[in-house]
Structure 1
Amino acid sequence: MQAKRQSSDTWLDPVSKSRITCHNITWIRSAAFQCIQAGGDIYFDQIPRTGTMPHAHDFIEILFINTGGLTHRVNGERQHLTAGDLCFLRPDDVHALAPAPAFDQAEVLLLDADLDLLLALSAYLGNDAFLHRMTASVLPACFKLDPAATTALYERLLKLNSPTITAQTRGIKIKVLLGELYARFFADDANLLMESQVPDWLETLCAAMRKRENFAAGLPRMKKLACCTQGHLCKVFQKHLHKTPTAYINELRINHAAWMLADTPMPILDIAGELNFQSLSRFYTLFRKAYGVSPAAYRRLHAARRHA
């Protein structure tokens, strides 16, 4: 049976091009689905333990678990979500909710938004890398928030859902929130490693490689710490970070070089040598690609700012 497809035309608010709903779910043994709307877009749902019907949308959806837990059936696989989990669904992901063994209830908030809002964000940032990262894997990306961040996001979503806010104001604030969430979780490698599908060993490896003595030692040190073949290492890096191990190491080196250029008097040639770049010309090429100026120009800019 083909999954039902929700349309933004009939589901989203036409002014804000978005919608926030809060669902207090109780799993029941009866076959009858019951829903009580408590005001606004707050619902108390009694759902058979067989789960909801599979469906997709033509808009994006952020699924947020505030309390409890559930099983997220998505694209033929299962994700086990608990309090603090944040799942970024793409248009046409086919998904449904089902009970988890340890939980009879769950409080779920859904932030739905027109895909055009993300495309506009991409144009504003001048970078669509986060869109590629969001859509790269078969399963939608999921991240775990700590308790304080969970409470903060929950309260923020409820305030955005208040009937006292105009649709225009709600639309603006939702755009700001979407920008924060997508930039936080998809623009920064460190946050990408929080994604629940990332192997624990990769997160541990990257944390170790962020130490100066390790990224300066380069790929041989990474292979030693990883305890796996270079082929497997490359495959995992491409899958989860969308770059090669060498590119990851060079980014760490270049960022550290920028700090040394700005805050130390060490000669540029010595910086390149200390961080084990293949040659000075290679260092210049990578630095200009990352910062848009040469190492020497970068140092002059920071020196001028200090004396301004």
Structure 2
Amino acid sequence: MEIIQWTLPECEQESGAGDAFNANVRETSPLHTHDFYEIFYVNKGKAIHCVNGERIVVSSGAFVFIRPWDVHSYDSLNYSEFQMTSIGFTCDEAAEGFRWSQFPLSMVNVPKLPPHVMLNGAEKTEFENKLKGIESHPRGMERKRYFHSVFPFFIYILCNKIRQTETKQLQVMPPWLSELIEQMSQTENFVQGLPRLLECSSYSHEYIIRIFRKYLHMTPTEFINLRRINYAMGLVVQKKYHITDICYMSGFNNLSHFYAIFKKQTGYTPNEYLKVYGDNLEEER
């Protein structure tokens, strides 16, 4: 199965955001990824969201934040009706919105799966009204100004919902740790591995291990490997590189170790991943 790569049209980039309404699963895109962020909201019914190797039921009131590297599609669920609205926006718009809101972008970028929260009551009504407002504004500066006025609300709702499900310790994560996570989520940093993380942090290795376990419930190496494998998943579905090349491009120095970590995090070997999400890629050994 071919992975479709979507690009945000120039007219929608200039407008700040593009919008789409799907009246049923058949109207949604087949397995795809894109070079922009996207939020989608389930207006009505239920469906299965197939994303990054997982199958998750989404139902009315679901608000999902899709990152550029996520690979996803939708399947019907027991013939249930399904309606959704999606809003696409550039990486620059996402970064600016999170800076303005003072929430770290790492809150949505670090997890393997895109953040998925449920809205209800007054927040659901307000959210739907703001989505309709984006759709009703014509493309251009008028829509861009409106999107800039409502995007912080979307971020606030999402991040507060995320924090409600996190531990108290994670809610008081030190600012320097949030900044470090932001830095180490950049490709040029995580491919360099633990030495680069220690260089960016200026703290001792032992202290960094304690802090990562306390707030992220993982070691620094596990965090780095998570980012590397997320990156590798994107390279695999592009079908431009041999797996050996992807191994080294992602920062791994040993092909067997790369296979083991990839399987541990995704449930598939790289070639099995392509059997699910695309054509086989010749494996170099």
> Which among 136, 153, 169 is matched to residue 162 of structure 1?
136
Per-residue Cα deviation, 1:154-213 (whole angstroms, up to 9, x for no partner):
2221232125x4621211111222222213322x4xx32456xx6xxx6xxx5xxxxxxx
Structure 1 residue 144, shift from structure 2 partner? 0.6
Q: What residue in structure 1 maps to residue 93 of structure 2?
A: 117
Q: 1:239, 1:85 → 2: CA distance?
A: 26
CA distance 1:151–1:3, change in 2 (3 Å)? same
Shift of 1:18: 1.2
Displacement of 1:3: 1.2
Paired position in structure 2 for 1:238: 216
Q: TM-score, normalised by structure 2?
A: 0.55
Change (3 A) 1:83 1:239: farther
Q: Name structure 1 gaps, 5 residues minimum.
A: 28-32, 34-44, 207-233, 241-308
Tell me which amino acid in the other structure corresponds to 1:21: A
Aligned-residue Cα RMSD (Å) equals 3.3
Shift of 1:121: 2.8
Structure 1 residues 167 and 132 mapped into 2: Cα distance closer, same or farther (>3 Å)? same
Q: 1:94, 1:236 → 2: CA distance?
A: 30
Partner residue, 2:22: 23
Q: Which amino acid aligns with 2:14?
A: V
Task: Provide structure 2 residue ranges, at least 5 long, that are not aligned to the other structure.
Answer: 169-211, 219-285
Which structure has more relative contact order (CA 8 Å, sep 6+)? It is 2
Code of the aligned partner of 2:162: L
> Could you say which structure has the larger radius of gyration?
1
Name the residue aligned to 2:257. Answer: none
CA contact (8 A) 1:84 1:144 kept: yes
Percent identity over paired residues:
19
Instruction: Give secondary structure in 2 for the equivalent of 1:157.
Output: helix
Match in the other structure for 1:146: 120
Distance 1:79 1:193, change over 3 A: farther
Pair 85,139 (structure 1): closer, same or farther in 2 beyond 3 Å: same
Structure 1 segment 122-271 matched on structure 2, within 5 A: 122-124=98-100, 127=102, 130-162=104-136, 165=138, 167-186=140-159, 188=160, 191-194=161-164, 238=216
The match for 2:74 among 97, 104, 111 is 97
1:67 maps to 2:44 = yes
CA distance in 1, matches of 2:8, 2:40: 16
Report the counterpart of residue 56 of structure 2 in structure 1.
79
Q: 150-159 or 112-121: which moved more?
A: 150-159
Q: Could you report, residue by residue, the CA deviation over 1:213-246 in whole angstroms, capped at 9, with x for unpaired residues?
A: xxxxxxxxxxxxxxxxxxxxx8595259xxxxxx
Whole-angstrom distance in 2 between the partners of 1:235 and 1:99? 39
Q: Distance in 1 between matches of 2:214 and 2:113?
A: 16
More strand by share: 1
Amino acid at match of 2:153: E
8 Å contact from structure 2 (residues 13, 90) kept in 1 = no
Residues 32-68 of structure 1: CA deviation (Å, up to 9, x unaligned): x6xxxxxxxxxxx4x7xxxx52100101000101111
Is the CA contact 1:5–1:55 (under 8 Å) kept in the aligned structure 2?
Answer: yes
* Residue pair 2:100, 2:152 contacting (<8 A) in 1 also: no
